[in-house]
Structure 1
């Protein structure tokens, strides 16, 4: 009895001491225990995902890859694999597994080593959120207390869902949704049993057990997971054998990008970082929807890339980037690709060839390749992926030698004139065929916006974002050339001119006393029509007429007037070269100004972000653009009480330049109000300029009656075969910049081409008979068959046309509507006066009511071109 009494006393003392120790430890680690609020509102660090307006993923930003999944969306077999491996008694314990804990303690006593951690799934989650992987007793104690605390606060379902989304699984994948994408490029629902078992085995040691870094160890770990599932009777013997025999199919996948739009994504990313800061933007789980739809963004990229290749090809082939064997003695390597040539092809094995090609930058759509064989008019190549292709003559014959930007060598006759075995080249796909290619040296940009509200519909800032992150669509201020003329003509209309006003198209020779030099602006070509109507002058892009209009309006008045279209005051020259486009503006600024003409005179504000959603898909903010309407259909938007907005909301409003009201926009419904954009020119003025630009993109008059003339952008109508287009070419002095801006009623687009080196001009292309033979039609000018000096119509307009071909496919024709207070009267084609004749010497013209001519042309003043011995005016090729 004495011994029994002593035993019970010792037990009681031990229990008291243990309890006291437990209480002491609890208070010691209490500061590290998470609060109930934290556990109930755990926020996963989810990357920002950027989508097109219609929901196609274009980019993902954030170091941690995470794709949150709901528990109900996780396949049961995936859950079974995780629980069988990590915590088979998950639903039977309260955060600590006594059986597992006892086993670990016994193992520690017997071996003296911490081989078994006995961590439940809840304990792993506690460690992942609040602790480190350091193997210490105090960390384990903290882990136990936190796990127990979590079980009191969260349900088993919540804990399991957190674990599946939070656990680290290697290669920056956090959570099983991200791991499925990173390793297999699939969703969880698309995985087979072997792949699920592979992922379920990763939490133990993701860096060494993952199937990419350690495929053999991954197989062994997968077998362990499958055995646990078999022991728990979650799979059959047949399923076990089949899954265990599966080969490793994992490889690293990037984010599941659906639409390639890096320039657009970068613009949006920059705005989000400015709003939130880098860390919050990249981990806050924001879902950002751009204003651009996927199809238009894709069409813009294809148009820019194809157009730059066309320009590049018509100026000649600069030669291979290098040789792997038998390099010609006269070969000069200017590509930066350095490989020590070997004498013979036989010295190279296929793996060595692929290793050498892997050193060549792969910039889509360009694929590195080596020439293995050259025939009479074809060449065989092997690309960087080990695939072999045959380049036929139709995909080689463009490659006459490049000499300078304005000189090309003789047309090739044989494939050996172009390539030799061992040459390292680029190839690209075009029309399902492989084609000899090279990295274009010229740059290009294209931007499209909705003229009614400023929503950017597409933006491409260069050939490749991965070659150059400089966004030429929004950052490059370049001289705009004749793209400025519609705004000059708008100023003239505002100052009392009409589209039928007669301006003298004659040379200007003005002596400048200050410089001692005469200023002689010239037309291009240097042809002068004498007295000419404003409509024809804009359509033919007459330089001297633009200067005379500037003088008629006044330099300062014109410069100030241009600010109405959104051009910055400091970018507008205060001299007469303003009329020829010597000012420098970005394509974004130009397209915004053109939108004012297309939408009836309203200055809209371009924007890139349509809406911002949180991780749950709830709309946080919705763009509220200003609209080209006054009054708009809906009542005017209420004024926000910005004092009630959070700092983040205020930053968003500042960056986007739009109204932001999170309380009124808590759903995915569009804004309830439309705000009117400022009307900067009258609807009548905008209509008349747009109508003049309409004649600038087509052929006009009658050939047989000798009234025929062509606008500088005539290819637009000829190729697109639409009657609702308007546009303007633009080429700067020495062809350093080429532009084309134009629109259909609901879409305004500006395209630009030039070199990043502003001292380099676009040059000219001589006749390539190989291309002419395959493109004999007179009007087939879309591509590398163009001849002559590069200009807006040659270098930039083809990109605009290519984009519009896709953007307007299936869209009914719809011209800019005629505003009120307009009249249409018949005038004399030559004098612009009223006429009683109805033949080819006349035409109908629009006027603002009250400005139409009141004087009739006299019979002896009528000029009938059909009675004169005149020749057709050559097609204009602008210098300005």
Structure 2
């Protein structure tokens, strides 16, 4: 009895001292413990996701991949797997499992060190959310206190739900939803029992038991999980054996991006970091909806890549990327070739392959997945040798003139089949926006973001060339010129005593027509006429006028070269300027983020756009009225002149017809065939063909396309026709120019994009008058034949004199058709 009393007394004292110790430790650590409010406000770090306007995932940013799920959305077998493996008494204990603690104490006494084990799901959650992973006594005590608070503040189901969404599974996957995506590319409800067991086994050691990096250890761990599930009667013997036999077959699956738009995604990422800071932007679960249409964005990327490949093929083949083995050497084994190819990147539309065999007019190549493809003569015959930017070699007759066995080359798949390819050297950009509010519908800043992150659509400041002329002509129309005014298209030779040289601006082509109407001069892009207009205006007045279109006053040259496009502008700046003509004279502010939602789906930001008509119905959205910078009448007159750049003028039946620089648009049925649709635009080419442009629009969409080398010293050059190809297969030769190099990209894009655009004719604004003029003199005419046309004028600016009637008989008869 005395011994029993002593034992009881010692036990009581130890208990009281233990309780006192716990109380003291609690008060010591109290300030470091999370409050009930903090516990209830536990936020799941989720990545930022970027979407198109129509909900397609463009990109995902953030170190952590997480797909938050409610407990009822998680399959019961997966929940059972975690309970059986991590905490089979989860629903019975109060956050700390006495049996588990006893086991941990035994390990401590037997080893002298704090060992793992003994932690309940609640404790693991406490450690993951509020503590570090350090194996220290202080951390373990804090973990216990936080676990008790968690159990007091949250229900068991809430704790389990947080746990399954918070824990890490390796490869930056946090939570079971992300783990299913990362390892299997599946939604969580599509997993097999074996796959669920594999995921449930990962939290113990995500790096060393990872099925991607260590499949054998992952298999062993899966067997442990399945064994625990069987022991706890969560699964049957048959289910156990079936799941145990499943192969460990997995690989890393990236975010389920459904639309590639990396340049646009980077624009969003940069803006979000600017708005919220890096940590909050990446880990707060923001969903960013852009203004870009998935259809139009895809069309823009295809148009840019296809156009650069067409340029590249015109200029010739630059040879193989590498030689894997020489013709007289022992070939590499198939496995060695595949291993070498696996080290190379697919870039844009191209992928690396090895040439296995060369026939008379075909080749066989091996891809990095082990498959072989044959490329016939239609995919090879373009590949005459590249000599320099102005010369190409003779057209090849056989495949052996192009490639050899053992070479590493690139190929691309097209609608016409597989083709030999190479990564295009020039840079390019295309940007489209809606003129009524400035929303960016599509933006592509280069051939491949993997190749270059430089976004030429918004960063490349390049000389605008003749793309600047509509702004010069707009200034002229506001200062006493009309579309019928005659300006002398004749060479200019101006001596500069300061430099000791003469400035001789020339037309391209070097053809001069004498007195020419303003409409026709813009449509034909007459350089000397543009110079004469800026002389009539004065350089300073022209510079001031151009700032109305959003161009920076300080960057505009203060000399007559401004009229030929010596000013440097980004494609987006140019498109914004053209939008002023398209929308009736209003300067809108381009934007690409429509709205931002938080992780709960609440809208936390919505862009307030500048719009043409603030009083119109915008569905309750807050908008700002865009400033009107030119008159509606002026915008219409410039649009009319650029319409002639597409359709030309005169009468082909009477041999007076002429084409504008954008005449190739006429061939595009998808753009032109819709009744009531009007399309306008302007080409642009700089000296030495270093920059080529085309900007154009329909009533609902403005698009600017640019092609040039990033190296400002390089010229786009010229080509001759490839005799292997028909004119339909290679319709462009000669010197590269806006009409040949940039316009085809614009056409390719608009042919697809225009289907989503509600377009209408450009209505004649009030205040304009129409009069029939003589096309040769610009004066009024009493005739109604091919020598005349109707022209639009501001009130009081129409000609008052009539052209002298000629007595030459009209052998063709009257014809009112002048286009």
TM-score range, shorter chain: over 0.9
1:600/1:683 contact within 8 Å kept = yes
Which position in structure 2 is the counterpart of 1:396?
380
Between the aligned partners of 2:3 and 2:752, the Cα distance in structure 1 is 96
Equivalent position SS for 1:859: coil
Q: Kindly indicate whether residue 660 of structure 2 is the aligned counterpart of residue 714 of structure 1.
A: no
1:706/1:866 contact within 8 Å kept = no
Equivalent position SS for 1:203: helix
* Bigger mean CA deviation after superposition, 827-836 or 704-713: 827-836
Equivalent position SS for 1:50: strand
Alignment match of 1:742 (pick from 689, 692, 696)? 696
Between the aligned partners of 2:135 and 2:562, the Cα distance in structure 1 is 73
Which position in structure 1 is the counterpart of 2:329?
343
User: In the TM superposition, what whole-angstrom CA distance separates every residue of 1:288-327 from its partner, at most 9, and x where no partner exists?
Assistant: 1111121111111111111111101100000111211226
Q: Kindly indicate whether residue 194 of structure 2 is the aligned counterpart of residue 156 of structure 1.
A: no
TM-aligned CA deviation for residue 236 of structure 1: 2.3
Which position in structure 1 is the counterpart of 2:566?
582
Between the aligned partners of 1:111 and 1:673, the Cα distance in structure 2 is 68
User: In the TM superposition, what whole-angstrom CA distance separates every residue of 1:531-581 from its partner, at most 9, and x where no partner exists?
Assistant: 111111111111111111111222111111001001111221111111111
Aligned ranges 1:672-711 → 2 under 5 Å: 672-711=621-660
Q: Kindly indicate whether residue 748 of structure 2 is the aligned counterpart of residue 765 of structure 1.
A: no
TM-aligned CA deviation for residue 367 of structure 1: 0.7
Alignment match of 2:496 (pick from 482, 491, 512)? 512
Report the RMSD for the aligned CA atoms in angstroms.
Answer: 2.0
Between the aligned partners of 2:16 and 2:711, the Cα distance in structure 1 is 83
TM-aligned CA deviation for residue 4 of structure 1: 4.6
Between the aligned partners of 2:376 and 2:687, the Cα distance in structure 1 is 39
Between the aligned partners of 1:442 and 1:409, the Cα distance in structure 2 is 20
2:701/2:757 contact within 8 Å kept = no
Equivalent position SS for 1:809: helix
Alignment match of 1:616 (pick from 600, 604, 607)? 600
Equivalent position SS for 1:218: helix
TM-aligned CA deviation for residue 396 of structure 1: 0.4
Distance 1:243 1:367, change over 3 A: same
Equivalent position SS for 2:732: coil
1:841/1:863 contact within 8 Å kept = no
Which position in structure 2 is the counterpart of 1:428?
412
Between the aligned partners of 2:412 and 2:22, the Cα distance in structure 1 is 70
Between the aligned partners of 2:553 and 2:812, the Cα distance in structure 1 is 48
Which position in structure 2 is the counterpart of 1:849?
795
Alignment match of 1:605 (pick from 589, 593, 606)? 589
Which position in structure 2 is the counterpart of 1:823?
769
Which position in structure 1 is the counterpart of 2:543?
559
Between the aligned partners of 2:17 and 2:460, the Cα distance in structure 1 is 76
Which position in structure 2 is the counterpart of 1:730?
684
Between the aligned partners of 1:433 and 1:701, the Cα distance in structure 2 is 42
Q: Kindly indicate whether residue 297 of structure 2 is the aligned counterpart of residue 297 of structure 1.
A: yes
1:622/1:670 contact within 8 Å kept = no
Which position in structure 1 is the counterpart of 2:616?
633
1:498/1:851 contact within 8 Å kept = yes
Between the aligned partners of 2:352 and 2:167, the Cα distance in structure 1 is 39
1:707/1:865 contact within 8 Å kept = no
Which position in structure 2 is the counterpart of 1:447?
431
TM-aligned CA deviation for residue 813 of structure 1: 4.8
1:449/1:458 contact within 8 Å kept = yes
Which position in structure 2 is the counterpart of 1:522?
506
Between the aligned partners of 1:551 and 1:796, the Cα distance in structure 2 is 29
Between the aligned partners of 1:143 and 1:538, the Cα distance in structure 2 is 77
2:475/2:542 contact within 8 Å kept = yes
Between the aligned partners of 1:574 and 1:11, the Cα distance in structure 2 is 96
Alignment match of 2:520 (pick from 529, 536, 546)? 536
TM-aligned CA deviation for residue 433 of structure 1: 2.0
Which position in structure 2 is the counterpart of 1:878?
none
Q: Kindly indicate whether residue 70 of structure 2 is the aligned counterpart of residue 70 of structure 1.
A: yes
Between the aligned partners of 1:231 and 1:105, the Cα distance in structure 2 is 25
Which position in structure 1 is the counterpart of 2:817?
none
Equivalent position SS for 2:457: coil
TM-aligned CA deviation for residue 428 of structure 1: 1.0
* Bigger mean CA deviation after superposition, 189-198 or 727-736: 189-198
1:523/1:544 contact within 8 Å kept = yes
Equivalent position SS for 1:712: coil
1:633/1:674 contact within 8 Å kept = no
TM-score (norm 2): 0.95
User: In the TM superposition, what whole-angstrom CA distance separates every residue of 1:847-880 from its partner, at most 9, and x where no partner exists?
Assistant: 223322232223149997979xxxxxxxxxxxxx
Which position in structure 2 is the counterpart of 1:789?
735
Aligned ranges 1:273-422 → 2 under 5 Å: 273-326=273-326, 343-345=329-331, 348-422=332-406
Between the aligned partners of 1:759 and 1:23, the Cα distance in structure 2 is 77
Question: For this pair of structures, how many residues does the alignment match?
Answer: 808
Distance 1:135 1:515, change over 3 A: closer
Which position in structure 2 is the counterpart of 1:665?
none
Equivalent position SS for 1:427: strand
2:379/2:420 contact within 8 Å kept = yes
Q: Which runs of 5+ in 2 are unaligned?
A: 814-819
Between the aligned partners of 1:177 and 1:28, the Cα distance in structure 2 is 38
TM-aligned CA deviation for residue 231 of structure 1: 2.2
TM-score (norm 1): 0.89
Between the aligned partners of 2:3 and 2:404, the Cα distance in structure 1 is 101
Which position in structure 2 is the counterpart of 1:252?
252
2:78/2:200 contact within 8 Å kept = yes
TM-aligned CA deviation for residue 249 of structure 1: 2.2
Equivalent position SS for 1:412: coil
2:700/2:758 contact within 8 Å kept = no
TM-aligned CA deviation for residue 837 of structure 1: 1.2
Between the aligned partners of 1:168 and 1:861, the Cα distance in structure 2 is 92
Equivalent position SS for 1:770: coil
Q: Which runs of 5+ in 1 are unaligned?
A: 328-341, 635-668, 868-880
TM-aligned CA deviation for residue 363 of structure 1: 1.5
Between the aligned partners of 2:808 and 2:186, the Cα distance in structure 1 is 75
1:705/1:865 contact within 8 Å kept = no
Between the aligned partners of 1:5 and 1:82, the Cα distance in structure 2 is 45
1:311/1:784 contact within 8 Å kept = no
Between the aligned partners of 1:136 and 1:157, the Cα distance in structure 2 is 29
TM-aligned CA deviation for residue 515 of structure 1: 2.3
Aligned ranges 1:187-206 → 2 under 5 Å: 187-206=187-206
TM-aligned CA deviation for residue 145 of structure 1: 1.5
Distance 1:32 1:813, change over 3 A: closer
Between the aligned partners of 1:184 and 1:364, the Cα distance in structure 2 is 26
Between the aligned partners of 1:5 and 1:117, the Cα distance in structure 2 is 35
Which position in structure 1 is the counterpart of 2:33?
33
Q: Kindly indicate whether residue 57 of structure 2 is the aligned counterpart of residue 57 of structure 1.
A: yes
2:46/2:64 contact within 8 Å kept = yes
Equivalent position SS for 1:90: coil
User: In the TM superposition, what whole-angstrom CA distance separates every residue of 1:8-40 from its partner, at most 9, and x where no partner exists?
Assistant: 433332322221122122223323321112111
TM-aligned CA deviation for residue 6 of structure 1: 3.8
Between the aligned partners of 1:670 and 1:388, the Cα distance in structure 2 is 55
1:369/1:383 contact within 8 Å kept = yes
Between the aligned partners of 1:164 and 1:493, the Cα distance in structure 2 is 68
User: In the TM superposition, what whole-angstrom CA distance separates every residue of 1:147-176 from its partner, at most 9, and x where no partner exists?
Assistant: 111111112222112111110111111111
Between the aligned partners of 1:865 and 1:786, the Cα distance in structure 2 is 37
Aligned ranges 1:204-243 → 2 under 5 Å: 204-243=204-243
Aligned ranges 1:63-212 → 2 under 5 Å: 63-106=63-106, 108-109=108-109, 117-212=117-212
Distance 1:579 1:116, change over 3 A: closer
Between the aligned partners of 1:864 and 1:396, the Cα distance in structure 2 is 53
Between the aligned partners of 1:711 and 1:785, the Cα distance in structure 2 is 18
User: In the TM superposition, what whole-angstrom CA distance separates every residue of 1:15-70 from its partner, at most 9, and x where no partner exists?
Assistant: 22221122122223323321112111112222211111222111111122222222
Which position in structure 2 is the counterpart of 1:756?
710
Distance 1:166 1:436, change over 3 A: same
TM-aligned CA deviation for residue 453 of structure 1: 0.6
Distance 1:6 1:289, change over 3 A: same
Alignment match of 1:858 (pick from 796, 801, 804)? 804
